[in-house]
Amino acid sequence: MLSTVKFSSQLTDSLKISVFTSHDLMFFQKKELALIGISLHNPYFTEDRLITILVGFSHYFEQVVVLLADSIAIHNYQTMGYSDSKAQSKVRKHGNRMVNRINRAMDHVGQENICLVRWSEIVSFSYILFSNRK
């Protein structure tokens, strides 16, 4: 590990970013874009912790994108034996719950440089981006 960057907010103790390679350090020093990946059912992302993360990252980076891997979680439910309709229902329920939590945290932080992108938007954008390549 090359470097560790720390910042804190008033809501929780601190948030630590670990930078492992020179490429990571260069990317962090540019401060253009932070991508925060969140999966469903990850207990780490409480509303208070999301606020801390968003406050810190919005301070250090020009743009912060929260990537929510929600609809892709359907495959996890299907693997656990849920029917397609039950899996879709669970993904919708838990995905909406997480979206609401993220939106509340974003509203609390009040920064315009933060946005939420759901899995379906990532897939749609990737399709548009790569379908035009020859």
Average pLDDT of span 94-98:
95
Structure tokens belonging to residue 24: 């990571």
Report residue 1's pLDDT band, with 50, 70 and 90 as the boundaries: very low
- Helical segments of the chain, H only: 22-30, 47-60, 74-79, 84-109, 119-131
Question: pLDDT per residue over 7-38, tens digit each?
Answer: 444 434 555 666 566 666 666 666 788 889 99
| 97: in domain | yes
Domain span at residue 100 reads: 32-131
| 19: in domain | no
- The secondary element (H helix, E strand) that includes residue 67 is strand 63-69
Question: pLDDT per residue over 29-74, tens digit each?
Answer: 667 888 899 998 888 999 999 998 999 888 888 899 999 999 999 9
| 45: in domain | yes
- The secondary element (H helix, E strand) that includes residue 33 is strand 33-39
Query: How many domains does the chain fold into?
Result: 1
| 114: in domain | yes
* Whole-structure pTM value: 0.74
| 3: in domain | no
| 41: in domain | yes
Which CATH number does the domain housing residue 101 bear?
Answer: 3.40.50.11710
| 20: in domain | no
The answer to whether 31 touches 1, Cβ cutoff 8 Å, is no
